Structure 1
Amino acid sequence: MPIEIKMPALSPTMEEGKLAKWLVKEGDTVSSGDIMAEIETDKATMEFEAVDEGVIGKITVVEGTEGVKVGAVIAVLVEEGEDASAIEAPKADAPKAAAKEEAPKAEAPKTEAKSAPAAAPKAAASGDRVIATPLAKRVAEAKGVDLSAVTGTGPNGRIVKADVEGATGGSAKKAAPAAAAPAAPTAAASSVEMADETRALLDARVPHTVEKLSGMRKTIARRLAQSKQEAPHIYLSVDVQLDKLLELRSQINATLEKQGVKVSVNDMLVKALGAALIAVPECNVTFAGNELIKYERADVSVAVSIPGGLITPIVTGANEKSFSAIARATKDLATRAKEGKLKPEEYQGGTASISNMGMMGIKSFSAVINPPQSTILAIGAGDRRPWVMPDGSLGVATVMSATGSFDHRAVDGADGARLMAAFREFVENPLAMIA
């Protein structure tokens, strides 16, 4: 009996994904545990394993297809010797079929001209409003072309210059100005129209290419917009002297050299943040509507730049780990993050984040909170600065700036200030982290 292979949910928040690559083809025999496909989620490209044994009877979603809903049938598995030719893919589950079913919901333009592409009604119909580039409008006015009777071939059905130049000018009527004004556009519609206007200007003036957003970039855009819209950010900065930490790091690395382990400054800062979160638990929290979730362990998400975006693998229990254990963990996580091989539980969660741009020469910056967390620490570059020493004399020290961003719904300013002070204390007196 045929078995439907459905798009899996490879993370708790995954609703759809891209079927990046099939590693099997129709007619191949698979066993439980065999890798069948690579699926791109919002954060990584992950391998999809077979659960059942059988023969790939039909592949219903071709590789490269984006926006495949979780639960959609992507292939059909048959038993050995079973005739696969009679199998019909469940059309309702296929993304293209779903798109066709949804298309009639859009209000189609009432013209007797040739039918527009599926996406055209959504862009060109907004009441009686016609969506066209500024250049197309000017050409239409000069030629006397009625834009409401022109089919747009531009992005989202937008009418471009070429569409107007191909239309007949003399016989077309001009649009009646007395048409009812369309309803006020929503924020989403305004954003789409603004993007179309920008693209129209670029079309006319600047050579360019258009790159489709990856699932990761879409998720980054959505989550960061959500963070800035929903979480009132408060920013607190401190200057931190690094000399004792750098000296301790040299001693630790000399000891670990034979083991092939090298502790970075960032590894030590991850430990310091973890220790500070335990010392000031009021910042190790998540705002959850009518509740405040308080964490008893410091799982620090470390921002890692990868091709196409940013990912935040988690150092679990950073407050409890040794410097060498954190070094091993961050090296392994960063390597697998850049290869797209992290498991969901390795980058989803975390109780606070750290983002270090010091190695790029950035002196200070304010980071956007990574929801649902309430705290993120932004680390700048350490450099030699004039510094007042403990005995009151003026000297030169290696100093960095650190800025904490806090969700003010969950973290009071005074508590945020206590966290920054605790972090500075651990960095400036690093032996306290291993005592």
Structure 2
Amino acid sequence: MPVAAGRRGDAEELDARFQERRTQVPVLAQRAEAEGIAAIRSPEDMVPLLFPHTTYKSYPESLVAKGRWAQMNRWLDSLSTYRVENVDVSGVEDVDGWIARLEAAGHLASSSSGTSGKNSFLNKTKRDRDVSLRNFVECLTALGMPPERTWHVLPLGPPTSVTSHRIFRDMVVGAYHRPDGIAVAEKAAPEGHHRYMARLTAMRRAMADGTARPDEVAAFEAEAARRQAEVTERLGRIADQVIAHRAERMFFTTTFPLAFRLCEALAERGLAEGDLTGDNALSSGGGLKGLALPPDYRSRISRTLNVAPERLLHYYSMQELNVRMPKCPEGRYHVPPQLTLFVLDRDGESFAEVSDGQVEGRAAFFDMTVDGRWGGTISGDRIRADLTGCPCGGPGPTVFDEITRYSDLPDGDKITCAGTIDAYVRGFVDA
């Protein structure tokens, strides 16, 4: 049985977007032709057209290793709404240089960190970025936090050379930071983010297969220790500022692991729960990124930083989506009207079975706001969803706070159509 959406008239709207995008996104056109799909008449028609999340890392790794950026252009072009092939890549030396050329041509490529291995690259446009920024403010406004420059805004993450991260931080500071707010002294952002991540991935692989030399391992460990020390030192400086302004309201934007580390830094300086008395706020998305924290880490963060539930924006999203699913006081993520939620079986081939209005399976989405790509994606997440509403009274489907990565399960993350779509993409690269 198909799983519901966050808006009415989905089949009609999805078909209108499909008819538009099939003329623009080459891989979508090829997939639709292969499946014999000429129109979206029901939710079932969408399932074969959803792109597995692995699609955005389907390029041959040799293209990056050998600096074949023109072929990388062709790969990205096959998945994009707007043509990429003519982007000038002369003189490009690495991924950072390639992304800079894409950005100069209006293609705001988003990339995963690559911490789990191969990087993924998604083509985004200024419209995509604007929608995402606006959605963040809308989520805060729904919590009762409209844009007001009355907060000490404290982004806990280190400075970064990634354009999208800088723009997001600048937007939040510009919308919420008080003119006389805390100014945390920043070191210059390290250059070559993707260059570093590529070296990190290569070293991890070399260490795993035993080919890394002792001097390479020592240098790698020294650099990792230096970076960790810089994060610790930065969080310590922020902790000092927090204590100095303990009665004023602060807005922390971060991940839960960094928020927990800040709490540890505050405790080391003698701060106890209840010592911060400002009406503080926190925004955080995503999980723990494989890090181990105590089971009660969220409540400890909220108590230490004095963040009441109504000032906590905790959301579920992913880089394939422009919009967020904010968590309500009942602990559920609400699917917004811009998203269509599908819950599929483990293989991503068909809809999971619904029982008493609830369903468990692989999360898939269509984001109607996506401009630079096809908006349909199959995630790597196992979720449980309720299609009957929420005890908080909010409408539409909700996702329970029980999200697991299939890659963390014994059988791994296997999506049946992934290999076929990857083959389509490679065909465009080799053409």
Q: Select the structure that is richer in helix.
A: 2
Alignment TM class, shorter chain as reference: under 0.3
Q: TM-score, normalised by structure 1?
A: 0.22
Question: Which structure is richer in relative contact order (CA contacts within 8 A, separation 6 or more)?
Answer: 2
Q: TM-score, normalised by structure 2?
A: 0.22
Structure possessing the higher radius of gyration over alpha carbons: 1
